[in-house]
Amino acid sequence: MTQLSFVSAAGRRAYPPRVSAFTQPFWDGLTQGCWQTTCCDACGRQTFPPRPICPHCWCDKVSWSPLSSRGTLYSWTRIHAAPAVFESEAPYAVGIVDLDSGIRLACRLLDSTHPDWKPGMAVEMAVLQYEDGPLFAARPIQTATD
């Protein structure tokens, strides 16, 4: 399994995810730094978020498989006028990331050390560890020149 590094986050998650019996393995894995999703046993394609039925071929036989922890920033924005539940965190950055494994996802961008995001830049996924559980986020991949 792909292991992610942890980043401490103060307090509780402002908007905790809905966890079902099916998605429980994803959230339990994320708590341990395991980055995974479902993969269709019939067509071999991964989906994110994890789904019990493949949206590509409609097969109901899926297995858990590791996701790539690295990718490329497709697009991003900084939110200044946040919804009330996230108001205390504003301004914050969110983006669309294309993982090397072919999955495109939306997530928080960790920008405390890198305020100048640019589409096409290399990113890696990380676990934001809150008091009440994990969330995932992307951050720039540090290079020798950073």
Amino acid sitting at position 8: S
Cis peptide bond upstream of 49, omega within 30: yes
CATH architecture classification, 2-13+20-140: Beta Barrel (2.40)
* pLDDT tens digits along 45-74: 999 999 999 999 999 999 999 999 999 999
**What's the predicted TM-score (pTM) here?**
0.90
Q: Give me the residue spans of the domains in the chain.
A: 2-13+20-140
Q: How far apart are alpha carbons 15 and 31 in whole angstroms?
A: 17
33: nearest Cα among 139, 142, 136: 136
Mean pLDDT across 18-38: 97
| Bridging pattern class, strands 2-3 and 34-40 | antiparallel
The structure tokens listed for 46 are 């991964």
89: nearest Cα among 16, 19, 11, 17: 11
